[in-house]
């Protein structure tokens, strides 16, 4: 019964741990991105837990250095993965993660960052998070959550033994949980725009297994000041997607707005580990050096135009199955 209650609470609070009582074929991971105010340092840290198909379990922290394009994977005994049931907070060994702080005791990262002015994905009736009503489907291969579209950083980290001040920098938090990542996906995120107000983009298109078949699903959030523009499969939006040699073209529209995205592949990537049936044996190449051109329209009127920096970008698997030159749902 305690496991059921904890899972029920987590259903309505996607940022919390969902794996209570699970023993195999399960993973859960949180993605913390943090960039210093000079934008010379861009990192992603991913704490999580892996429960393989054979029942073997371990906790982990992955670190992606977006500027040096290298990644590290640190494995911990599962006993050192300690989540809280009534709030979003977890420890992996001597490393701590919550909505208020990040604390690291890793070879390349040491110190504590405070997080301030988080912008969570809003909860709505029948939609506890970014997945909308799909959050309630018990057979999804992978679930997704956005903990904070944009927030401020305060504090100092020791990076490769050198002190770096992150005060005034920006952060972003999302998470995934379930059995496996999709067979293919395109994902991008950035909140570094030259604008006098908070601006943040997260866009994901993926091949989603569904009751013996599959469909192309997408979830997009564009934060402009105080307003979040949402485009998703469950909102009835339509999409287009195509690839150039070093560009990714994505478009989304509903009855009122249209979002045009061009992500440019710049620089190298770091190789992250991804889950397959709970085992962390897959590979994902991610860049934190991409730039993303964004245009938001209301009808034919241009509401916003800008280019985001330090963008996360992943193009994984046989992405041809995601592409369409015609508007489709």
Each residue's pLDDT expressed in tens, for the chain with a length of 329 residues: 578 899 888 888 999 999 999 999 999 999 999 999 999 999 999 999 999 999 999 999 999 999 999 999 999 999 999 999 999 999 999 999 999 999 999 999 999 999 999 999 998 777 788 888 788 888 789 999 999 999 999 999 999 999 999 999 999 999 999 999 999 999 999 999 999 899 999 999 999 887 777 889 999 999 999 999 999 998 999 999 999 999 999 999 999 999 999 999 999 999 999 999 999 999 999 999 999 999 999 999 999 999 999 999 999 999 999 999 999 98
Contact 25, 277 (CB under 8 A): yes
Whole-angstrom Cα distance, residue 81 to residue 93?
7
Provide the pLDDT for residue 91.
98
Which contacts qualify for 58-65: CB closer than 8 Å, 24 or more apart? 59/92, 59/93, 60/29, 60/92, 60/273, 60/280, 61/92, 61/93, 61/95, 61/106, 62/29, 62/272, 62/273, 63/106, 63/108, 63/109, 64/270, 64/272, 64/286, 64/288, 65/108, 65/270
Residues 85, 9 contacting (CB under 8 angstroms): yes
CA angle 89, 93, 95 (to 5 degrees): 55
Stated as kind and residue range, the H or E segment containing 9 is helix 2-11
Provide the whole-model pTM. 0.96
pLDDT of residue 1: 55
- DSSP letter assigned to residue 134: G
Q: How far is CA 9 from CA 3, 13, 18, 19, 91, in A?
A: 10, 6, 9, 12, 19
3-class SS of residue 88: coil
Tokens representing 161?
């033994």
Tokens read off for 218: 């997408």
pLDDT of residue 115: 98
Q: Which of 141, 120, 122, 145 is nearest to 10 (CA)?
A: 145
pLDDT at 24: 96
């Amino acid at each position: 019964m305690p496991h059921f209650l904890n899972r029920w609470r987590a259903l309505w609070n996607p940022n919390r741990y969902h794996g209570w009582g699970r023993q195999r074929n399960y993973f859960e991971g949180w993605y913390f991105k943090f960039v210093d105010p000079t934008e010379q340092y861009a990192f992603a840290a991913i704490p999580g837990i892996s429960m393989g198909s054979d029942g073997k379990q371990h906790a982990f922290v992955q670190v992606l250095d977006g500027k040096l394009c290298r990644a590290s994977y640190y494995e911990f005994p599962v006993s050192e993965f300690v989540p809280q049931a009534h709030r979003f907070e977890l420890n992996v060994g001597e490393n701590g993660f919550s909505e208020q702080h990040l604390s690291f005791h890793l070879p390349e990262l040491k110190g504590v960052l405070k997080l301030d002015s988080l912008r969570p994905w809003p909860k709505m009736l029948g939609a506890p998070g970014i997945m909308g009503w799909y959050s309630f489907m018990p057979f999804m291969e992978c679930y997704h959550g956005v903990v904070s579209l944009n927030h401020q950083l305060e504090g100092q980290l020791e990076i490769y033994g050198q002190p770096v001040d992150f005060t005034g920098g920006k952060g972003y938090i999302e998470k995934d949980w379930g059995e496996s990542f999709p067979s293919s996906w395109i994902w991008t995120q950035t909140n570094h725009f030259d604008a006098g107000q908070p601006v943040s983009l997260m866009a994901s298109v993926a091949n989603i297994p569904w009751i013996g078949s599959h469909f192309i699903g997408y979830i997009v959030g564009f934060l402009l000041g105080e307003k979040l523009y949402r485009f998703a499969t469950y909102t009835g939006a339509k999409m287009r997607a195509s690839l150039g040699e070093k560009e990714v073209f994505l478009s989304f529209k509903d009855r009122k707005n249209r979002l045009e995205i061009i992500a440019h592949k710049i620089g190298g990537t770091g190789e992250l580990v991804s889950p397959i049936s709970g085992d962390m044996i897959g590979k994902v190449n991610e860049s934190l050096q991409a730039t993303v051109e964004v245009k938001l329209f209301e009808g034919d009127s241009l509401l916003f135009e800008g280019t985001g920096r330090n963008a996360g970008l992943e193009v994984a698997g046989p992405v041809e199955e995601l592409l369409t030159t015609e508007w489709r749902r």
